[in-house]
Amino acid sequence: MPDLRRASSNADPGKGGVGRAGEDPASTRRSTNRAGAKRASAIVTDLHVTAADRLDAVGQRFTTQRRTLVDLLAESRHPLSIPDILSLQPALAQSSVYRNLAVLEQAGVVRRVVTTDDFARHELAEDLTEHHHHLICSSCGVVEDFTASPQIERSVARAISEVSDRTGFTSEHHRLDLIGVCEACA
């Protein structure tokens, strides 16, 4: 499923002849924005259907609060801690956020990212967004997403294959968390 953060249209109607001849560029932009909004809406709908299906499979419902959490995580550019979530949605009760994140994690909708500070971070499961890794600051605890180049991913795959061959361990997937000091703390 495409990353929701990139769901809007990147087309620029003023360049490359996206609009029709004689058409008002502002009108074309509105039309392009509506098309991008429809795509984003379809992606969100697909995400909600997938979340509801996964929750149903573990005997849970896709409640309004769970939908709110899924939407917050989908809109975020990095994993969120519970304090982050509460600052974005102060009306949510902290105990409900903990409980609902645990249920969403159990259903395979959310993944917890363990960090070096007191707060785990949460993000949508990777199969609902895109394959990525994390930079984790050991000083302030901030977690940033990054995407490795295809060359690095191939190198990691080779290393995993070698470990599997040597140990008999069957890998299902991998996750790479780099722990260090962020630019702000350096």
Write out 137-176 in H/E/C secondary structure. ECCCCCEEEECCCHHHHHHHHHHHHHHHHHHCCCCCCCCC
The per-residue pLDDT for 151 is 94
CATH topology of domain 4-130: Arc Repressor Mutant, subunit A (1.10.10)
pLDDT averaged over 10-residue windows placed end to end, the chain, 186 residues: 36 36 44 46 77 97 97 93 96 96 97 86 92 90 89 93 95 89 94
Whether 4-130 shares its CATH topology with 131-186 is answered: no
Q: For residues 122 and 99, what is the distance between their CA atoms, to the nearest angstrom?
A: 13
Residue 51 CA: distances (Å) to CA of 32, 66, 97: 28, 9, 16
pLDDT of residue 17: 36
Q: Would you kindly state where each structural domain of the chain is located, as residue ranges? A: 4-130, 131-186
**CATH of the domain spanning 131-186:** 3.30.1490.190
Determine the pLDDT at residue 41.
Answer: 53
| pLDDT score at 43 | 56
